[in-house]
Structure 1
Amino acid sequence: MSTESANPFTARTIFIVIVAGIIGFIAFLLLAAYAPELRSGRDGRAHSLSTSAVGFRGVYDLLEATGNEVAFVRNEGSFVNGGLTIVTIEPGVDQDRLDRLIEEGVYQPTLFILPKWTTFPVLTENDRVMAFGANLGATAEQPLANLDDIAVRRSNTAPGSRLFTTEFAGVDFSAPDELQTVSGKNVEGLVETESGDIVLGYVNRTESYILADPDLLNNQALASPERAQAALLLLEEINGGTGPYRFDLIANGFGGSANLLTLAFEPPFLALTLCIFAAALLAGLQAAFRFGPPQSEPRAIAFGKRALVDNSAELLRLARREHLSSARYAELTREAAVAAIGNPRNLEGEALDRWLDEFESGGDRFTVLAAAAETARSRHDILSAARALHNWRKAVTHEG
């Protein structure tokens, strides 16, 4: 019966498990690093990723389909001078980000779209909402306080009524349901109602624009070809016909903040990450494939004369009797020499030792070596005396 236990897993199974674990771990790190940027935004809110009626994904797709350069802004450092930045304001907007956008809006064309509809998601249908009233406009007054002291109001303008503008030639705007307007000390009208209420305005001494009613640009508005054309022309006029369109997502909570994980997967630190991964892979291969056959574990109690000698020496060491062994070794050497060369005169004691001194060994005489062995106390002295006696015996007995 084999003493080796059978391995329940084949080499192929172990390899697959290891590879799956490595891939899973890398995927976990990537998801942890880029989770905010991977969210789809299909949550029924009024931001640029939303495909609901109050969202603005449609205008992004419309601009892209008509050959314009468009992009989502997810990182603070991705600002590029030129073009138009579009900001959709919601309740709970990131105020710090919004304040930075207001500062950029002094010299960079920026369109702030105010909220309007209170909605709830339709649970059985993805990214669809149900409206419960147009009463969110006033929630944008405080977040935009650093831009201007604005007031958002509902207008009595009938749905479908014409909106007036002198800035956008060839563009016809019609009032949506529950028209929302804005007013402010520094806000000048670009698109107004017949009574002069501002629907789209710009802030004096800045490059900032405020669209009071989002129904001129959101997905619901683009369901009509006429309104889609009007929305496209409106954005082109604000942008001046040049530069890209950037839809800010950081203020809506979809920004990707820099952290140690994202730094590890982006240049210039990506090269270091790949080197560490390669080193770990090579270490794993070295552990998986041995260089040479595996070494078996030694027996707890070895076989043979050497094991007997080692065990005896260990017993002497534990008993602290090593210093007594050297004198006994001198006696064993004497007996071994006599057994090999004989004792024709049957000498004993000192006479035998003097007779052994007569044999030429090329070194010290036997009596000198025996005396050194009897006086040895340290392990080094004992070993030196035993080695000298061993060499003497080999010399006088002519052993190999």
Structure 2
Amino acid sequence: MSGQVAFSRGGTLALVAVGFALFLALIWLIASGEDFGGGGNNGQAHAASKGLNGYAGLARLLEADGFGVTRSRSPSGLETEGLLVLTPPPGADPKEMGKILRNREMTGPTLVILPKWNALRPPQTLPREVRSKFKPGWVMLFDAQPAEWTADLPSPYGFTHQVETLEKDEEPGWDGFAQSGNLPTRTILYADESDLHEPLITDSAGHWLALRVLGEQGSDYYEDAHWTIFVAEPDLLNNYGLADRTRAAAALALLREAAYDGDIDEITFDLTLNGFGASENLLTLAFRPPFLAATLCLLLALLIVGWRAFQRFGPPAAANGPAIAFGKERLIANGAGLILRARRFGLLAAPYAALSAREIAQRLGLARPDPEAIDAALARRLPSEEPFSRRIARLEAAHRPADILDAARALDDLNHKL
């Protein structure tokens, strides 16, 4: 066999580096929680949806206005100290919503956009030329339904969510933040009035389209809790509503109000309530405090081990290929077995002494394996070592197997040192 190896040192290092980079990419993809099936644009009412009832336009509008926008697929996003925007589905659990709002009271402000439309993808019965005009995520809006679970929220959050359809001669107007305009449809959702809330945007009939939760005067919530704002009429903020410049300006004003007049510049749109939650796993936790320090130490240790793997710890133990050919190895084994059976250990001393003398003389650059010449050369090379002649004399004088082995080891150690 030739002395060539399968991979060079550079090739092996490249393989290790590429594999490590792919591992880090896998970690990042798992942690980011990306949906490889289309990013969540499924036509429902959330920040990843581009349909009429979605809020992708609101997220882009806030980004253009200078806010730092995050679309969170992790439950940890509910703990943000910035503004949290919730878009719960029609069948949300009031106990779960109440728990989230309670936890947010001392963490940060919250904006809850209630659901409205029953939205469906275009049916397959439509003509092909009509269906071809629909872009991914587009929907058809049908009836509007209020969220019944708002009445079961704990105090001071609870209220009744209602729906009203205006007559043809009635204008679906709205007013708030020193602006006014019309809603895109005559079907309006609103919240019943309450002493624990205050209106932020109303319609032409005085119905509350958006409200802020105040709580009872003198209560801990009234004095210390962060703001919670409910948007009962989502057409003020969804992609359908933002088609109008005035409603878009009102949407920005409402979000700035929820963010304490812009003092908070980080806004998180939660997607876990809409079915896009990503569970925690050991790989993502390994790259988060307090486990990040241990992970960095482990990576540093791996780098050190990898670096040492490319460094030689000393001269090679043997040349390329087997030290002894297979036939000679079997012959030696058979000879050793014969000596062992015959118990003629004394026959081993003299041949091994002669063999060691030749090898040591060759390493010292001597022409002949003369013990005196070897001692002189060894005194110059390794002055602290026992003379060769004394070692070989001890081997020749040995008779017991243990003494023969000890003397042979002394010669072998000298050979290795040279």
Name the TM tier (shorter chain). 0.5 to 0.7
- State the TM-score, normalizing by the size of structure 1: 0.63
Residue 24 of structure 1: SS of its match in structure 2?
A: helix
Mapped contact 2:174–2:201 kept (Cα < 8 A):
yes
Residue 115 of structure 1: SS of its match in structure 2?
A: coil
Change (3 A) 1:62 1:222: same
**C-alpha separation between the residues in 1 aligned to 2:345 and 2:63?**
99
| 1:251 matched to 2:261 | no
Partner residue, 1:260 = 282
Partner residue, 2:377 = none
**C-alpha separation between the residues in 2 aligned to 1:35 and 1:326?**
73
Residue 212 of structure 1 is aligned with which of 210, 222, 232? 232
Partner residue, 1:200 = 210
Residue 133 of structure 1 is aligned with which of 133, 142, 154? 142
Question: What CA deviation, in whole Å up to 9, does each residue of 1:278-321 have, x standing for no partner?
Answer: 433443454456454572422256869xx76x75442243x3x4
Partner residue, 1:89 = 88
Partner residue, 2:20 = 22
Mapped contact 1:36–1:256 kept (Cα < 8 A):
no
Residue 155 of structure 1: SS of its match in structure 2?
A: strand
Gaps of 5+ in 1: 330-372, 388-400
| 1:183 matched to 2:192 | yes
Query: How many pairs align?
Result: 327
Residue 150 of structure 1: SS of its match in structure 2?
A: coil
Q: Which moved more, 1:253-262 or 1:23-32?
A: 253-262
Residue 139 of structure 2: SS of its match in structure 1?
A: strand
| 1:110 matched to 2:133 | no
Residue 58 of structure 1: SS of its match in structure 2?
A: helix
Residue 179 of structure 2: SS of its match in structure 1?
A: coil
Partner residue, 1:62 = 61
Change (3 A) 1:294 1:213: farther
Deviation of residue 181 (structure 1)? 2.2
Q: Which moved more, 1:51-60 or 1:261-270?
A: 261-270
**C-alpha separation between the residues in 1 aligned to 2:294 and 2:345?**
63
Residue 261 of structure 2 is aligned with which of 217, 233, 241? 241
Partner residue, 1:396 = none
Change (3 A) 1:302 1:204: same
**C-alpha separation between the residues in 2 aligned to 1:69 and 1:35?**
19
Alignment of 1:1-400 (within 5 A): 3-4=1-2, 16-35=14-33, 40-68=39-67, 71-72=70-71, 74=74, 76=76, 79=79, 84-91=83-90, 93=92, 98-104=97-103, 106=105, 109-121=109-121, 127-138=136-147, 140-141=149-150, 144=153, 148-158=157-167, 161-163=171-173, 168-177=176-185, 178-183=187-192, 189-205=199-215, 207-244=227-264, 246-249=267-270, 250-254=272-276, 258-267=280-289, 269-288=291-310, 290=312, 292-293=315-316, 295-296=318-319, 297-299=322-324, 311-317=334-340, 319=341, 321-322=342-343, 325=344, 379-380=401-402
Change (3 A) 1:72 1:243: farther
Mapped contact 1:163–1:191 kept (Cα < 8 A):
no
Residue 160 of structure 2: SS of its match in structure 1?
A: strand
Mapped contact 1:50–1:127 kept (Cα < 8 A):
no
Deviation of residue 190 (structure 1)? 4.3
Change (3 A) 1:260 1:301: closer
**C-alpha separation between the residues in 2 aligned to 1:145 and 1:129?**
35
**C-alpha separation between the residues in 2 aligned to 1:223 and 1:51?**
12
Partner residue, 2:224 = none
Structure 2: which amino acid aligns with 1:151?
T
Structure 1: which amino acid aligns with 2:318?
Q
- State the TM-score, normalizing by the size of structure 2: 0.61
Mapped contact 2:118–2:142 kept (Cα < 8 A):
yes
Residue 26 of structure 1: SS of its match in structure 2?
A: helix
Structure 2: which amino acid aligns with 1:153?
Q
Change (3 A) 1:49 1:9: same
Mapped contact 2:117–2:142 kept (Cα < 8 A):
yes
Mapped contact 1:46–1:88 kept (Cα < 8 A):
yes
**C-alpha separation between the residues in 2 aligned to 1:192 and 1:219?**
20
Mapped contact 1:54–1:219 kept (Cα < 8 A):
yes
Question: What CA deviation, in whole Å up to 9, does each residue of 1:194-222 have, x standing for no partner?
Answer: 44443223445164332211001112211
**C-alpha separation between the residues in 1 aligned to 2:347 and 2:316?**
44
**C-alpha separation between the residues in 1 aligned to 2:345 and 2:70?**
92
Residue 137 of structure 1: SS of its match in structure 2?
A: coil
Deviation of residue 233 (structure 1)? 2.6
Change (3 A) 1:295 1:113: same
Residue 192 of structure 2: SS of its match in structure 1?
A: strand
**C-alpha separation between the residues in 2 aligned to 1:45 and 1:201?**
24
**C-alpha separation between the residues in 2 aligned to 1:164 and 1:303?**
101
Partner residue, 2:358 = none
**C-alpha separation between the residues in 2 aligned to 1:229 and 1:114?**
20
Change (3 A) 1:148 1:29: closer
Identical amino acids, percent of aligned pairs:
28
Question: What CA deviation, in whole Å up to 9, does each residue of 1:245-267 have, x standing for no partner?
Answer: 63341434555655432232234
